[in-house]
Amino acid sequence: MNSAQLEIQLIASLVAVACAIPGTFLVLRKMAMISDAISHSILPGIVVGFLITHDLNSPLLILLAALTGIITVVLVEYIQKTGLVKEDTAIGLVFPALFSIGVIMIAKNADDVHLDVDAVLLGELAFAPFDRLIIDGTDLGPKSLWIVGTILFITITLLFTFFKELKVSTFDKGLAASLGFSPAIIHYGLMSVSSVTTVGAFDAVGAILVVALMIAPAAAAYLLTKDLKKMLTLSIGFGIFSALLGYWVAHWLDASIAGSITTVLGIVFLIVYLFAPTKGIIAVLYREKQQRTEVSLLTFLLHLKNHDEISERHVKHLNEHINWQKVRSKTVLDLAQKNNMITIENNIVSLTEKGDEFTSKAIDYIITNEDAQIEDMKDDFFLFRG
């Protein structure tokens, strides 16, 4: 591993952290698509900045582009406020328009602008180490490392200073407002940080990867925890892991680093999506299946409780009467027997004392919807876990 490789990985990891922090809040505030809109609509800002400064790394360019990002947010909110279209339509209208303006500006000034639209969307991390910051003849490292580092420093400072405010306003806007934190300031603050991060990161990793790095780690973390601090830590962890692994995959395939980091992020998300302990798709499907069985069980027990006649409690009759398929009735019967809720004698099913008590309790719960009575059942049955 030479120093250029080390620098690339360092930049990628810093970008990952810088994106994961605002990304977590965007996902929690249901504004994930805003980051996509910003990442596209900063293009005209970048082009104008580039025409003025002729330097992709100049601070003015970053400021201009960030300004365009904020203009996007303001425009979207204005259109939404008129009530003419819904929020998502407003987003979908604003950013392609701005992006088109950017593309046309590039095309019209093709002689002046050595700026490729591909490069804006995808970035080229592999070239990042060649653009170095040199002050007084001393080499201080790649420019993008300094830019991303500064942005990350600002983001972390803001995060620690305003963590409480961010948390409150994210989860309870009304409470935040009544406590005296202006939701507007926090909202626009977050939007500004997202814009600046997007701009600062774009020339290293491109606009699309910025979106992926903001949303994917946060979404994966959100499936694993409900604690904000843990979610932040997890998404930072996912981000760094994908950045490093993605770099080596790209190295191995000799392909775009940005694309490969995104792909690793996708795989990470897919794994979490499938296997997350309680929110994962497998867990959800299993829970739904169990709940279906348990509803059947309850129906079955209720039937037994309501009927004393032997004819109604005959195994064969139950099959017909409740109209279940064989497999299903067997699962339900087994479950009931395993829990000692029924006994079967000569093919006649009867409730045990435990089953009787369980049924009354469950019915009571369904009618009154009071939680206290079923605390002890929650461990055994998915049905009552909500």
Q: Which of 99/181 has CB closer to another protein?
A: 99
Q: Which of 88/380 has CB closer to another protein?
A: 88
Question: How far is residue 292's CA from residue 278's CA, in Å, rounded to a whole number?
Answer: 17
Q: Which of 89/347 has CB closer to another protein?
A: 89
**Shortest distance, CB of residue 223 to another protein, whole angstroms?**
6
**Shortest distance, CB of residue 256 to another protein, whole angstroms?**
4
Sequence-separated (6 or more) residues with CB below 8 Å from residue 325: none
Three-state secondary-structure class, residue 381: coil
Q: Which of 205/297 has CB closer to another protein?
A: 205
- Which residue type occupies 13? S
For the purposes of burial, counting CB atoms within 10 Å of the CB of 305, is it exposed (0-12), middle (13-18) or buried (19 or more)?
middle
Question: How far is residue 220's CA from residue 20's CA, in Å, rounded to a whole number?
Answer: 11
Q: Which of 66/211 has CB closer to another protein?
A: 211
**Shortest distance, CB of residue 81 to another protein, whole angstroms?**
11
**Shortest distance, CB of residue 219 to another protein, whole angstroms?**
5
**Shortest distance, CB of residue 69 to another protein, whole angstroms?**
16
Question: How far is residue 42's CA from residue 203's CA, in Å, rounded to a whole number?
Answer: 12
Q: What is the CA radius of gyration of the chain?
A: 29
Question: How far is residue 229's CA from residue 167's CA, in Å, rounded to a whole number?
Answer: 10
**Shortest distance, CB of residue 84 to another protein, whole angstroms?**
6
Q: Which of 25/358 has CB closer to another protein?
A: 25
Closest CA to 27 of 162, 170, 150: 170
Q: Which of 92/183 has CB closer to another protein?
A: 92
**Shortest distance, CB of residue 121 to another protein, whole angstroms?**
7
Long-range CB contacts for residues 191-194, cutoff 8 Å, separation at least 24: 191/34, 191/38, 191/69, 191/70, 191/73, 192/66, 192/69, 192/70, 193/22, 193/154, 193/155, 193/158, 194/22, 194/26, 194/34, 194/35, 194/38, 194/69
Q: How far is CA 305 from CA 122, 132, 261, 299, in A?
A: 66, 80, 59, 10
Site of interaction with another protein (CB under 8 A): 27, 30-33, 35-36, 40, 79, 82, 84-86, 88-89, 91-93, 96-97, 99-101, 103-104, 107-108, 110, 117-118, 121-122, 208-209, 211-212, 214-216, 218-219, 222-223, 250, 253-256, 258-263, 265-266, 269, 273, 279-281, 284-285
For the purposes of burial, counting CB atoms within 10 Å of the CB of 308, is it exposed (0-12), middle (13-18) or buried (19 or more)?
exposed
Q: Which of 115/261 has CB closer to another protein?
A: 261
Do 65 and 123 form a contact (C-beta atoms < 8 A)?
no
Question: How far is residue 306's CA from residue 186's CA, in Å, rounded to a whole number?
Answer: 59
**Shortest distance, CB of residue 381 to another protein, whole angstroms?**
21
Q: Which of 109/343 has CB closer to another protein?
A: 109
**Shortest distance, CB of residue 133 to another protein, whole angstroms?**
27
Sequence-separated (6 or more) residues with CB below 8 Å from residue 86: 80
